[in-house]
Structure 1
Amino acid sequence: MPRIVHPRRARHLGGIAALLSAAAAFNAHADISYKLDRASAPPGTNVHVQAVYFNDSETGGRWQPPRDLVLQWRSPSGAVVRSLAHADSDELDINVPVNNFARMSWTAVVPASATGLQAVSIEGEPAMMALDASGIGAIASKPADVPVVDARTGKPLPPAEVQATGVSPDGGPAPTQAANTAAPQPTGNPAFDRLRAGLSEYEPTYFDLRTRDSTTAKFQFSFKYRLFTPNRDEHPGFLDHLYLAYTQTSVWDLQGDSWPFIDTTFNPSLFWQSDKIWQSKNNDWSLGLTSGVEHASNGKAGDDSRSVNDAFVQPALNYRFDGGSTLTFAPRIKGYFALEDQNRDYTDYTGWVDYHLRWAQDNGLVASVMYRQGASSRRTAQLDLAWPLKRTFLNMNGYLHLQYFNGYGDTLLAYNQRQTSQIGIGLSLVP
């Protein structure tokens, strides 16, 4: 039998529902922060309202920013002007995975009647911003040549108390100058600072122990260096995607006399790389591309010498799940040239394509598979698993690393010898 609700009670329930709806709407915007792209602009000029939506929930989020914002400009005298800000993009339905963010901006014109410091608010949003409309840029560029005072009494604080904070007691820099100090501080060695700014990870870096047949260690380190860096206010150009990289992989005999290295592969490369040359409107799908040339050799002479050169193209198709993980399929297609006589048949064992499949969970498991097919059913497979040690009782940096290898090419020296299945376990710095 249907339940009958008294009309007065129905009105109360409707009011509660309205309040809950309003609360839900507020919570939906609680993770959105707004700011103006500048601190000072004269009347009649354009400014941009910038928003960042951050999803820190346990499920994927959906952000539908409005096409237009209504801004309220309030002057020190109390005068109020309302104007519109128009979206800079037509993408107004954005999926935001867990622990990720999305950006949006709107263009507004500073009202012609605006003077002095303006308090800028967005109707319907719990956001307040400020803009100096005097046109002289006082907020952004004028240093504060006044002492630090006690906010309650207005009297200057003792210089020793202020200096203990690391700032000058008599005056401070302009806000823009202070903001620049948030960047990594120079070391005093410009060459090292440029090197540090251009370095980043490339292939996985790890150290594993293996005990099949004999005790060995397999370890690898890898990095890349960006040759050109765009200015902060410019979009990266073609040259800004050029990199030099170096990867070194070694297999170390920990059981033989004097613990000799079985083989080491030295692998420099030059390539062009962009993580996103295309992205879908809802940000679920994206396509990256890496293409270049590389050299690999083991640094030995005579019959043990191995040298391989190839040009490669590696597209990377990515799918972002709402739960906060990314699946990537990245086949590496290679064309070999200038092979040494000792390894003319190299492609019979390695083939022409390395198929890579990788699943990476935010702050969680990283699993990757590599498969290659040579001639005459010569197959090679490698599985890598990495789990962040921050999520274990150790609470330390790095990852617990597990690697399974079966096939050819465990070392460059023995590229044509099938390696007994190996399982290694150790520490990974870059999964």
Structure 2
Amino acid sequence: MKVMNYSTLIFFILIIQGTSAYSQENTILHVDSLSLRNDYLAEMQSVNILKHKPIEVTENLVRSVLDKQTAFAVYKDNYMVTGIPLNKPVNRKTADTFFQFSIRHRVTKSVLPFNSFLYITYSQKSFWDIYDESSPFHDTNYNPGIGIGRYVIRNNKLKGAVMLSLEHESNGKADLDSRSWNYINVSIKYFYNMRLSAKAQAYLPYVDGEHNKDMLRYKGYGNFSINYIDKKNLWWFSLEIVPRDKIINPNIHTSLSFRVSKNSNQYLTLDYYAGYGEGLLNYKEYTNQIRIGFTIKPDFFSAY
């Protein structure tokens, strides 16, 4: 068991070392338009992050940038973090390691109706009791999906992106431990300026798992998140709020990340989760966990 677990850890480290080809970091800096690059650099130096100032760009240029990107890239944050609970005694059974592996592949360029594109995604997250005897994986969740998306341009300003995907999530277990659901994910991303963006998602679910019919009361029917980067593009702050059956009692996931090198998308991360449904197996169990570790992040201006 330990050999398999350590092999997984080594595999993840190799992924960290090899992601530069897939990160699409600073996409805008690699386009052919000198004026666009200059606008990006100037706006990044703005001290007023609350100023609403979408970058001016033509739709043809945005499609050109998107179509020139590597089709295979990082989708969600790729974590390898470890930490302790804040609401339980700290011991080798309550402390854990959490990692998430998330990728996407653009199947087509923006040649579909309305200049949209087709993509597929796959995310997998695991809760690893690495400090317990034999270091078992407590829960692993698998999340494949297929979707269609496009950037939204109005009056030569990049407003954001709209995505529509069909997804499945399950823990791959059988009988009483089986957890699964299917859903349509409607996602809207909005670029307030070059350093601040917001994203809202709504789920249209079909819960087919026999033993998790009430799961959405704990996981919620969508989420709202914000992302902020500082003017030197070193610090990245993320906050995700997941409304549940009681709006005043949401699930909260937040992180503060520091970029270890200007030439990579690897970050040192302090991560905090408070709420239900962090994993599928024990979705009814309240989690209040703080963790620290590494994160591989996608491009800040990604449509996904």
TM above 0.5, yes or no, is: yes
**Which residue of structure 1 aligns with residue 34 of structure 2?**
52
Whether the 8 Å CA contact 1:244–1:269 is kept in 2: the answer is: yes
Separation in 2 of the partners of 1:208 and 1:102? 38
Q: Residues 57 and 265 from structure 1, CA distance in 2 versus in 1: closer, same or farther, beyond 3 angstroms? A: closer
2:272 corresponding residue in structure 1: 404
Does 1:384 find its partner at 2:258? no
Of residues 210, 220, 242, the one that matches 1:351 is 220
Q: CA deviation at 1:289?
A: 0.6
| Unaligned 5+ runs, structure 1 | 1-49, 62-94, 106-195, 231-235
Structure 2 CA distance for aligned equivalents of residues 396 and 328 of structure 1:
21
**Alpha-carbon distance between aligned partners in 1 of 2:217 and 2:278, rounded to the nearest angstrom:** 15
1:265 shift after superposition: 0.5
In 1, Cα distance between equivalents of 2:40 and 2:208: 53
Greater Cα offset, 52-61 or 244-253:
52-61
> Which residue does 2:289 correspond to in 1?
422
Residues 356-407 of structure 1 show CA distances to partners (whole Å, capped at 9, x for unaligned) of: 111134632211111112124542100022211016xxx9761111111000
CA distance in 2, matches of 1:209, 1:351: 25
What secondary structure does 2:34 align onto?
A: strand
Q: TM-score, normalised by structure 1?
A: 0.51
Question: Which residue among 72, 77, 80 is the counterpart of 1:207?
Answer: 80
2:82 is the alignment partner of 1:219: no
Pick from 115, 121, 127 the counterpart of residue 245 of structure 1.
121
2:135 to 244, 259, 272: 259
CA distance in 1, matches of 2:155, 2:204: 31
The equivalent position to 2:148 in structure 1, one of 272, 292, 300, is 272
Structure 2 runs not aligned, ≥5 long: 1-31, 45-52, 61-68, 299-304
Q: Secondary structure at the match of 2:176?
A: helix
Q: Aligned pair in 2 of structure 1 residues 349, 332: CA closer, same or farther (>3 Å)? A: same
1:211/1:240 CA distance change after superposition, 3 Å? same
Matches within 5 A, 1:187-202: 197-202=70-75
Question: Given the two structures, how large is their TM-score scaled by the length of structure 2?
Answer: 0.70
1:404 partner amino acid? Y
Answer yes or no: is the 8 Å Cα contact 1:205–1:220 preserved in 2. yes
Partner Cα separation in structure 1 for residue 116 and residue 57 of structure 2: 24
Contact 1:246 / 1:269 at 8 angstroms: preserved in 2? yes
**Residue 280 of structure 1: CA displacement?**
4.3
User: Which has the higher relative contact order, 1 or 2, with Cα contacts under 8 A spaced 6 or more apart?
Assistant: 2
The partner residue of 2:201 within 311, 316, 332 is: 332
Higher-Rg member (1/2): 1
Q: Is 2:176 aligned against 1:309?
A: no
Q: Distance in 2 between matches of 1:396 and 1:51?
A: 22
Number of aligned residues: 240
SS in 2 for 1:363: coil
Q: Structure 1 vs Structure 2: percent identity of aligned residues?
A: 26
CA RMSD of aligned residues (A): 3.0
Matches within 5 A, 1:26-425: 52-53=34-35, 54-55=37-38, 59-60=42-43, 197-212=70-85, 213=90, 214-229=94-109, 236-238=111-113, 241-274=117-150, 276-281=151-156, 283=157, 286-320=159-193, 325-361=194-230, 363-376=233-246, 378-390=249-261, 398-419=266-287, 421-425=288-292
Q: 1:57 to 1:310 in 2, by over 3 A?
A: closer
Distance 1:370 1:309 in 2: 21
* Residue equivalent to 1:151: none
Give the Å deviation of 1:211. 2.5
Within 2, Cα distance between the matches of 1:205 and 1:197? 18
Asked if the contact 2:54–2:192 (Cα under 8 Å) also holds between the matched residues in 1, the reply is: no
Residue identity matched to 1:428: T
- Residues 12-50 of structure 1, C-alpha deviation per residue, up to 9 Å, x if partnerless? xxxxxxxxxxxxxxxxxxxxxxxxxxxxxxxxxxxxxx9
Query: Per-residue displacement from partner, 1:129-172 (whole Å, max 9, x unpaired)?
Result: xxxxxxxxxxxxxxxxxxxxxxxxxxxxxxxxxxxxxxxxxxxx
Q: Contact 1:52–1:102 at 8 Å: present in 2 too?
A: no
